Amino acid sequence: MDLLNTLVEKGLRRELPSREEALAVLTTSDDDLLEVVAAAGKVRRQWFGRRVKLNYLVNLKSGLCPEDCSYCSQRLGSEAGILKYTWLKPDEASKAAAAGVAGGAKRVCLVASGRGPTDRDVDRVSKTIGAIKEQNADVEVCACLGLLSDGQAERLKAAGADAYNHNLNTSESTYGDITTTHTYADRVETVRHAQGAGLSACSGLIAGMGESDADLVDVVFALRALDPDSVPVNFLIPVEGTPLAGEWNLTPQRALRILAMVRFVCPDVEVRLAGGREVHLRTMQPLALHLVNSIFLGDYLTTEGQEGKADLDMIADAGFEVEGAGTTTLPEHRGGGGCASACAPSDSAASVSASSDGAGAVSASSDGAGAASARTDLVTVRRRGAGTDLAPNA
């Protein structure tokens, strides 16, 4: 297929594909799916070999968020029956993190619900980072605390944080349909705050909220322009009690096409398979390892994930290997930080603003994804790990 040959060549050169090429990946047929996966897999192996980086989430503070993000079970007015608790103490968070590290996680992601941290919250998290680093000096720590104010990223960096996560989630043109209590521009600004402080930026998306193909391409091109070091790809977990509980728009085949498109647009970036993989990819998860080079181990913030041992077995059975603590994740030319000028986007379509064909209300994709059946049996609220007396899943 000429399209795939072109995309592989561009990916090996770190060259940005055209919008038309990215859109075409999303509309390939199921008959061509294995060819799409194989092509994107060549790009993945060029920059990351067969290594899989493991990441582990610790939910420092769960629920009671004042923001109204429609996809989130912790949102303002959420009726989801999730765990709700205030800040974990540093030793509690360190103990939770240790379980993930023991399971093979190279990075621990510290997450707290809320619009953004107060200065006192930054102090709390700084102490938690110190406690984790004291027990596991080599582990990477990524903070995800919401919108950052001036100086907060610098304080987290000084405390030992390695990275900061703040996702764009969806296209700029449809962002207001998902969240009204903050803006897309607020999110972009926080990513830039993190980069300016010398933190490794982590920013990604959520697919399956009813967005169009153009919306997906818009947000991935915007991420390419922001140039984070890691791009987590979440698939909406439709939790009962949230506004998007009825959005079951994904099939395993569509999820794989989305991941392939992200890899072609962001060839040398850590693409992380994040929330919702078990719900939407199901038995096709091993194929996704040919597209991503990073996954979350165990449970998510408010829902349960695949058993940690099953994750490790899947990686081994698919012929991949867990990335060790002594291995640098990113290719040498990225230097662990922002992209060198050689891989700066060469196409003006990579600007952060959405292009006109992604505008308008959120609408279902045209590839038949809306026909996906609801698998509510695969959505289980987390009742173990952080904030409970039960052992975590790692």
Nearest to 387 by CA among 62, 56, 100: 62
Q: Is-contact 34 257, C-beta < 8 A?
A: no
Strands (E), 149-236: 163-165, 200-202, 205-207, 230-235
Tens of pLDDT, residues 317-357? 999 999 998 899 999 999 754 333 333 333 333 333 333 33
Give the pLDDT score at 197.
98
Please state, in angstroms and rounded to a whole number, the distance separating the CA atoms of residues 170 and 383: 29
CA distance to 60, 229, 339, per residue, from 153 (Å): 18, 16, 20
**pLDDT tens digits, residue range 104-114?**
999 999 999 88
- With 90 as the cut, is the pLDDT of residue 7 above it? yes
Question: Mean pLDDT highest for which of 55-64, 279-288, 302-311, 333-342?
Answer: 279-288
> Tokens 């990073």 belong to which residue?
294
Query: Amino acid identity of 360?
Result: G
Residues carrying an active site annotation: 65, 69, 72, 109, 142, 202, 272
pLDDT exceeding 90 applies to what percent of the chain? 73
pLDDT value, residue 239: 87
State the pLDDT at residue 35: 98
Q: What does the pLDDT average to over 237-262?
A: 94
Q: What's the CA gap between 37 and 235, in Å, rounded?
A: 18
Query: What's the sign of the alpha-carbon dihedral 176, 179, 183, 184?
Result: negative
Residue 372, pLDDT score: 65
d(CA 264, CA 196): 26
- Distance in angstroms (rounded) separating the CA atoms of residues 135 and 18: 46
Burial of 332 (0-12, 13-18, 19+ CB in 10 A): exposed
Which value, in Å, is the radius of gyration of the alpha carbons in the chain?
19
State pLDDT tens for residues 91-141: 999 999 999 999 999 999 999 988 999 999 999 999 999 999 999 999 999
How does pLDDT run across 46-57, given as a tens digit for each residue?
999 999 999 999
Each residue of 356-392: pLDDT tens digit? 333 333 333 444 444 468 898 888 888 888 888 888 8
**What are the structure tokens assigned to 11, written together?**
């990916």
pLDDT value at residue 355: 35
- How wide is the angle at C-alpha 38 spanned by C-alphas 37 and 40, nearest 5°? 65
Q: Report the percent of the chain where pLDDT is more than 70.
A: 91
Q: What mean pLDDT value characterizes the chain?
A: 89
Dihedral pair phi/psi, residue 303, rounded to 5° = -125, 160
Residue 340, classified by CB atoms within 10 Å of its CB into exposed (0-12), middle (13-18) or buried (19+), is middle
pTM over 0.85: yes
Which residue from 98, 4, 2 is spatially nearest to 43, judged by alpha carbons?
Answer: 4
Residue 358 identity (one-letter amino acid): G
